[in-house]
Structure 1
Amino acid sequence: MAVIGATESEGAVGRSVMENLLDGYEGDVVPINPNADKVLGLEAYDSITDVAGIDLAIVVVPPQIVNGVLEEAGEAGVRDVAVITAGFGESGSEGAAREQEMQEIAEKYDMNLVGPNCLGVISTPVGMNATFTTKSALEGSISFMSQSGAFISAVLDWSSDHNIGFKDVVSLGNKAVLDEGDFIEHWGDDSSTDVILGYLEDIENGREFIESARKVTQDTPIVVVKSGRTEAGASAASSHTGAIAGSERAYEAGLQQAGVIRAESVQELFDYASILEGQPLPDNDEIAIVTNAGGPGVMSTDAVGDSGLQMASFTDETLESLEESMPEEANIFNPVDVLGDAPADRYEQALDIVLEDPNVGSAIVVASPQSIDFRDLAEVIAEKQQEYGAPIAASLMGGETARNAKDIIDEVGVPTYFDPARGVKSLDALREYSEIKTTDYGVASDFDVDRERAREILERTKERETNKLGIEAMDLLDAYGIPTPDSAIVTDKQAAVEAAKEIEGNVVMKIVSPDILHKSDIGGVEVNVAVEEVASTYDDIISRARNYQPDANILGVQVQEMADLDAGTETIVGMNRDPQFGPLVMFGLGGIFVEVLEDATFRVAPVSEDEASDMIDEIDSAPLLRGARGRDPVDENGVIETIQRISQLVTDFPQILELDINPLVATPDGVEAVDIRATIDHEEL
């Protein structure tokens, strides 16, 4: 290890890093400081070029000279660097320029670089603490990364009191070169890492993150706390999708598609880590509760209701065994109440019975300190976990008595909590990871579409003053095989009449203007118009539009075949392009209620058939599509295919910033896109 900027000055980062390394690192530590002969008793060198065989350089010099020493490190063949120094992209334009130069140097020398503006890195198997923290990490099998160095300092201090150990700890800093995806891939290949944890404030390469994490989570669970839940940018969006999406929706979808378990708090982060590190995965989603207190048993049951777990339904054999072995006053149904006077051996009897039940996938043991010795109970829990191999969590609801028993069940990786709800949520994290391991995300379909025609339609929009498109862009959907009603855009009332005659039955008429987004609100839409009323309706629609917005660019009126709304359900398929994750596809209940009800779900494109099907399952109004209240079920396959085709369209054309099909009318016989709205980036065309 070379510490560039090593010093003996009290309170200096360069001294703290040296002291931490010398305290436990098994290899050689080399101080680099041209102004010192020795640092902490070790010979100091003027430059890293004076030393051969450096595996890692830790840089703690002033920001103005960091890039100079990185050049020297690159020339010396150093490929791994941690830049602790701040004063880069986080500090204004001058710092951002320095960070850009740093990236160029790292690329030039094929350098793995952590930071800048970071706390450093820790690897416990070799005793390496290359940080300036006052506490190091206990050894364990959790690898942890964080964008906040201060958070790492707090975690290290806290974890030593809670006997939580780490394999690696990485402070990501500004992520100039290495980011969360790089470390996920590394730890995924590391047999010494059982669980990957992360505190993230952003994910810069969302799609790459998804692809990396999906591979890793087949073998190694990833749990992340993502801070910053503001829906930045949503207020500026002009589409329904954009108004609902926001950055938080993108992270929800992206982390879900990545197979990452999301913790809502720091407490949950380490609750989940402890149980994923120490317990096996459940065989099913059913949980048994064994308690000596009615109230905590009810609390546990409520927590199960708020989770993805189910209360186990005991077999008749289990109920008979419980009835025979438990006191008459005990409750033998789930949650099993062994009563307040229960000694440890009564818990043992109950656990033997419920854990033998094939319906039970996991169990939580809840106890209040009434007449039981928690250490005796801990011995029972540890023995039963080992005997049955099922995941168990414990809620020992006490203070010192619970702490005194914790070391016994820690030995077998059974986590214990004061609050039984935390135990249930942790077991639910095991269930979630079990599902993640078996998830088949599928591969996005590649439909036979007319990309060239779509490209020409988008190219023509460059001639317009606005980048907003309305129903005049329906041909874009047609090019991608999405069904649309017969229609024509006309610029005078006689042409409107002729167009209506070409369409069988009454028609819908809509104002065509990229400047008027909410056409219904201003009387710009008329439905069920008979042929003899078309001419006067044309004049009325144009007049209302002129009165509403005199300077609007009115392209004409669309005359469209009537969609059978009574036989179908109005849905919406849309897209908003997220800065980190790219195209975020939405599906939900459509029509005029989309932004009021916000019954919608999201996926990062490209979206596979399996993912599109899951999107339908996830909305609250899914029963409306499946025949609720005597309605005929709609053609779900048509909806699924439309979601995929929109996913393909917005993946093929990054120039599309926003897009809504609203409504996409779904009927038993198929789907039809009735209206479209889009925003185009002309500079990308």
Structure 2
Amino acid sequence: MRSDPGDPRSRPAQPGAASAGAALTPASGTTRPRPALASLPTLYPAPIPQEGLEAGRVLLRDGTAATLRPAREADRPLVGEFLQRVSDLSLMRRFFAGASREAAVEALLQVGPPAERYTLLVQVGDPDHPRIVASGTYVRDRAEPDTAEVAFLVEDAYQGRGLGTLLLERLALIAARHGIRRFVAWTQPDNRRMLEVLRASGFEAHQHHRDGYVVVSLDVQPSPESVARSEMRDRIATVASLRPLFRPRGVAVVGASRDPGSIGYRILEALVMNRFQGPVYPVNPRAEVVGSIPAYRSVLDVPGPVDLAVVAVPREAVLDVVDQCGAKGVRALVVVTAGFAETGPEGRALQERLVAKVRGYGMRMVGPNCLGLINTAPDVRMNASFSPVFPPHGRVAMSSQSGALGLAILEYARDLGLGLSSFVSVGNKADVSGNDLIQYWEDDEDTDLILLYLESFGNPRRFARLARRVGRKKPILAVKAGRTAAGTRAAGSHTAALAASDVAVEALFRQAGVIRADTLEDMFDIAALLANQPLPAGPRVAIVTNAGGPGILATDALASAGLEVPEPSPATREALRRFLPPAASVANPIDMVASATAEQYRETLRVVLRDPGFDAVLVIFIPVGLADVDAVAAAVREAVAEARRAGHRKPVVACFMSARGLRQPLAVGDERIPSYRFPESAARALAKAYEYARWRQRPLGRIPAHPDLDVDRARDLCRAALGRGGGWLSAQEVDGLLEAFGLPRVRSRFVRDEEAAVAAAADLGYPVAVKMASRTLVHKTEWDGVQLHLADAAAVRAACRGIVRRLEAAGRREELDGFVVQPMVPAGTELVVGVTQDPLFGPLVAFGLGGIHVEVLKDVVFRITPLTDVDAAEMIRSIRGYRLLEGYRGHPPADLEAIQDVLLRVSRLVEEVPEIAELDINPLMAYEPGRGCLIVDARVRVEEPGR
């Protein structure tokens, strides 16, 4: 079996692609036939591991943690011990010919370059005394270079826990990076467990019998099935690993003190006083009783099972406590102790040792330096934190990266009456992260809404993948601190200069459907709506008020947030006039005037909620007339209850602008109507809810598989440039890179001197443009290095001499590589497309209007790669100048699909060639529909990935 050539990390969903013909680009350009995007097969991005691809934490099927890493020559003693623990049967199935254990050690430790041979090991146990429990190896077939033989060996006690599948997935991803597209595995017919591992991987598999063995061939390119199965296995393992944190059979408080002011005492008291539905064990080596509960000198002395240990001991004692918990079989830890990575290099080193121990024992850990963990489920009622607040039970889960802020958050949620299902203060996120928690809450029956307070991201690309999936089921609402980090870094391209600190976060949230709140107050305002009301089906909001001023403020706030305040239908206006006073306005806002009674509120809401022309209702009340707050609140409840009985599911929000607000929540059965102090808050919450509703309704998007990409040529070109030290590519190299990825570009000739420039101009046809070419002087305009509309040879010579003269005057003549000659292109719409590498988020693609619009108006939007077709289309429509691309006042429309195709090809380019650090296409000249677009100028900088 042979796999399709092309993308080493993704594969087409179907072979081939129907061509839609060539784009009708101007004669001055070079392009290839451009098939319609919808006709192209789909690429499936490979799964993103929890940590590093080749090293880091992995989770077994039962939730046990372990460490994955490459084999090293120094592992000989550990591998020897591993093979001594493996049964003869397992050894025979791995090596077939009854190889001795000594020979098996040599076989596993033939460590070579990953392009030829690679072995991964899975390690457990105390890092000072580790144990190898599994290995996986591939060896490239020299006769068939796109094929490798793969084999696994798992210690008998660890078989059936998903290690074989995990090693297969990781080896496949590593092998694909080196051009290996197929694995072949030989096994005995009775080795059903290994056959099941291969079949259940989700990779396309074929098997046949040969010489008494079963030979299984796997196409290891990601497919819909392999990606879906990998994500499901990851989710199952993650949930299993976190269950002991949220639903422990027993909790030990290590460091439980008799001092009522101590953290340990407060945690013990919080568990007991909030009626944790399980045993609680104080651990204190110097006390027999703590808080009227018998205490134990060590976790090892606790008689019953302990799933969760809350550690509140001095920093110096934490590692010893972890050893005791590991020996006891504790499954999870909450380490509230501070003094680790947040304190500097010494604390960071201690935290690394802590994490290594935790993983060695197969445990999960929240913290260190955290507030703790709360689960309000009635059958759990666990307050494993030092928060004095135990929030009411509800359907909102929250994670906070700040412990101190977590205390305030819990108090605020309680005061608002916002019920929580669980709350986790993740602290330093040394192990359990927000990504883990999102996966746990994804299928948690007690959780409908996820709130996140973030100060940093650990793995933002994985976060984006998870949030896209989870957000389709449950809203994710986040506050990201640090959005105004100082300044913009100096950069050599427009794209990098425009990518300020918060751009990547904004792009990630927008693509992944994460609802972003500017402040914690905003977050709870939005949460009150999302947790209690249906999503708005559209942008049309009715405002019901007894005062004109607040109605106007609400109208302005709704309009500025992108919502509409349309006129009521004629039938609605007629119905309102029957009972409202003549002075009332039956437009929108519906102003019932100050004398409005509770009964008029009730009748108005009944009418408005029946009007199909409204998607949501905002009720405003100011106590300026005869009606009192409680009577109006009752009227609102009754009107909404009646509407619900009639099947009307429009969201309703209220704004009671009285000094004392509402004494009782606006509750309709189990439904709560959120009430805000000011109309602007209600408007912002409605706008965010509608934005999220639109995201859920949009297509998932797909990554088209362009069949004409020469990925190897692009990689070789950039790696060759790295060989000379990297930096900006030459004009010839840029042109070759664009050509390799089928990007439409102006025909160009690179020449060394003015006579060659004249010859090139004659060949291309006048008029032409002459541009300076330099790998160091990248801003051509600073040197007047772009000369346009040159009509004859004399003009070309003058242009070349002028550029040389200006560089000589500045002492920079030696930095001139030569000249680029291009035919003048027809006028079109100037656009810019660029890429810059964010150190955490990876490639950011920029799109906007080119020319002066880039630097002056900054009409540019950013997205994180890989782009889907939906992302690319949304980018085009998100710029303020989109109306120009549609055609405006005589300005012709642009070929939007051709622009979208360029964005998708650029996204694929920087995903496939990580050496590209910056890319700037400016201008990209867009022409009328059917005529495509052309890259007039581009520059690319390369550097070693990860620098």
TM-score (normalizing by structure 2): 0.70
Residues 1:58 and 2:310 aligned together: yes
Q: CA deviation at 1:368?
A: 1.0
Residues 1:214 and 2:475 aligned together: no
Structure 2 residue matching 1:587: 3-state secondary structure: strand
**Which residue identity is paired with 2:271?**
L
Correspondence for 1:623: 883
Cα 1:35–1:573 shift into 2, 3 Å = same
Instruction: After superposing the two structures, state which structure 1 stretch, 354-363 or 6-15, moved more.
Output: 6-15
Correspondence for 2:640: 385
- Counterpart of 2:590 (choices 333, 336, 342) is 336
Correspondence for 1:121: 373
Instruction: After superposing the two structures, state which structure 1 stretch, 221-230 or 131-140, moved more.
Output: 131-140
Q: CA deviation at 1:11?
A: 2.4
**Which residue identity is paired with 1:515?**
T
Correspondence for 1:504: 765
Correspondence for 2:676: 417
Give yes or no for contact 1:385–1:391 (8 Å, CA) kept in 2.
no
Correspondence for 1:197: 451
% of aligned pairs identical?
A: 39
Alpha-carbon distance in 2 for matches of 1:546, 1:85: 64
Correspondence for 1:558: 820
Cα deviations across residues 189-227 of structure 1 (Å, max 9, x unaligned)? 111112111111122211111111111111211111111
Cα deviations across residues 10-35 of structure 1 (Å, max 9, x unaligned)? 42221221111121212111122333
Alpha-carbon distance in 2 for matches of 1:682, 1:407: 59
Cα 1:351–1:167 shift into 2, 3 Å = same
Cα deviations across residues 394-431 of structure 1 (Å, max 9, x unaligned)? 1111022x333545569631011221121222222322
Q: CA deviation at 1:541?
A: 1.4
Alpha-carbon distance in 1 for matches of 2:320, 2:593: 71
Residues 1:90 and 2:90 aligned together: no
Structure 1 residue matching 2:501: 3-state secondary structure: helix
**Which residue identity is paired with 1:539?**
R
**Which residue identity is paired with 1:127?**
R
**Which residue identity is paired with 1:660?**
D
Instruction: After superposing the two structures, state which structure 1 stretch, 154-163 or 389-398, moved more.
Output: 154-163
**Which residue identity is paired with 2:760?**
A
- Counterpart of 1:173 (choices 406, 423, 427) is 427
Cα 1:140–1:549 shift into 2, 3 Å = farther
Residues 1:224 and 2:478 aligned together: yes
Residues 1:351 and 2:605 aligned together: yes
Correspondence for 1:4: 254
Cα deviations across residues 432-462 of structure 1 (Å, max 9, x unaligned)? 2321321223022222310111012102212
**Which residue identity is paired with 2:680?**
A
- Counterpart of 2:299 (choices 37, 40, 48) is 48
Alpha-carbon distance in 2 for matches of 1:191, 1:684: 40
**Which residue identity is paired with 2:799?**
T
Cα 1:35–1:548 shift into 2, 3 Å = farther
Instruction: After superposing the two structures, state which structure 1 stretch, 484-493 or 429-438, moved more.
Output: 429-438
- Counterpart of 2:752 (choices 491, 501, 513) is 491
**Which residue identity is paired with 1:161?**
D
**Which residue identity is paired with 2:798?**
S
Q: CA deviation at 1:47?
A: 2.9
Structure 1 residue matching 2:655: 3-state secondary structure: strand
**Which residue identity is paired with 2:891?**
R
**Which residue identity is paired with 2:788?**
V
Q: CA deviation at 1:379?
A: 1.2
Residues 1:20 and 2:275 aligned together: no
**Which residue identity is paired with 1:582?**
G
Cα 1:219–1:390 shift into 2, 3 Å = same
Correspondence for 1:365: 619
Residues 1:478 and 2:739 aligned together: yes
Q: CA deviation at 1:122?
A: 0.8
Q: CA deviation at 1:597?
A: 1.1
Q: CA deviation at 1:576?
A: 1.3
- Counterpart of 2:788 (choices 519, 527, 533) is 527
**Which residue identity is paired with 1:335?**
P
- Counterpart of 2:359 (choices 107, 122, 128) is 107
**Which residue identity is paired with 2:398?**
F
Residues 1:438 and 2:688 aligned together: no
Which residues in structure 2 correspond to 1:564-583 (within 5 Å)? 564=826, 566=827, 568-583=828-843
Instruction: After superposing the two structures, state which structure 1 stretch, 249-258 or 496-505, moved more.
Output: 496-505
Structure 1 residue matching 2:799: 3-state secondary structure: helix
- Counterpart of 1:429 (choices 688, 693, 715) is 688
Alpha-carbon distance in 1 for matches of 2:775, 2:881: 31
Q: CA deviation at 1:108?
A: 2.6
Give yes or no for contact 1:466–1:514 (8 Å, CA) kept in 2.
no
Alpha-carbon distance in 1 for matches of 2:814, 2:266: 65
Cα 1:127–1:684 shift into 2, 3 Å = closer
Alpha-carbon distance in 1 for matches of 2:665, 2:292: 43
Give yes or no for contact 1:4–1:33 (8 Å, CA) kept in 2.
yes
Q: CA deviation at 1:463?
A: 4.0
- Counterpart of 1:376 (choices 604, 613, 631) is 631
Q: CA deviation at 1:119?
A: 0.8
Give yes or no for contact 1:626–1:632 (8 Å, CA) kept in 2.
yes
Give yes or no for contact 1:146–1:200 (8 Å, CA) kept in 2.
yes
Structure 1 residue matching 2:373: 3-state secondary structure: strand
Correspondence for 2:440: 186
Cα 1:30–1:547 shift into 2, 3 Å = farther
Give yes or no for contact 1:217–1:259 (8 Å, CA) kept in 2.
yes
Give yes or no for contact 1:382–1:412 (8 Å, CA) kept in 2.
no
Cα deviations across residues 329-356 of structure 1 (Å, max 9, x unaligned)? 2111111111211111111221111111
Alpha-carbon distance in 2 for matches of 1:518, 1:141: 55
Cα 1:479–1:262 shift into 2, 3 Å = same
Cα 1:256–1:437 shift into 2, 3 Å = same
Cα 1:417–1:409 shift into 2, 3 Å = farther
Alpha-carbon distance in 2 for matches of 1:93, 1:459: 35
Cα deviations across residues 635-655 of structure 1 (Å, max 9, x unaligned)? 111100000000001111222
Instruction: After superposing the two structures, state which structure 1 stretch, 30-39 or 250-259, moved more.
Output: 30-39
Q: CA deviation at 1:372?
A: 0.9
**Which residue identity is paired with 1:376?**
A
Alpha-carbon distance in 2 for matches of 1:264, 1:319: 37
Residues 1:249 and 2:499 aligned together: no
Give yes or no for contact 2:899–2:926 (8 Å, CA) kept in 1.
yes
Alpha-carbon distance in 2 for matches of 1:393, 1:541: 66
Correspondence for 1:265: 519
Give yes or no for contact 1:474–1:675 (8 Å, CA) kept in 2.
no
Alpha-carbon distance in 2 for matches of 1:678, 1:235: 18
Cα 1:332–1:212 shift into 2, 3 Å = same
Cα 1:154–1:461 shift into 2, 3 Å = same
Cα 1:643–1:580 shift into 2, 3 Å = same
Correspondence for 2:857: 597
Cα deviations across residues 140-196 of structure 1 (Å, max 9, x unaligned)? 221111111111111222333332221111111111111111111111211111211
TM-score (normalizing by structure 1): 0.96
Q: Which runs of 5+ in 2 are unaligned?
A: 1-250, 644-648
Give yes or no for contact 2:914–2:945 (8 Å, CA) kept in 1.
no
Give yes or no for contact 1:272–1:426 (8 Å, CA) kept in 2.
yes
Alpha-carbon distance in 2 for matches of 1:196, 1:235: 34
- Counterpart of 2:939 (choices 662, 677, 680) is 677
Give yes or no for contact 1:287–1:361 (8 Å, CA) kept in 2.
yes
Alpha-carbon distance in 1 for matches of 2:480, 2:730: 36
What is the alpha-carbon root mean square deviation over aligned residues?
2.0
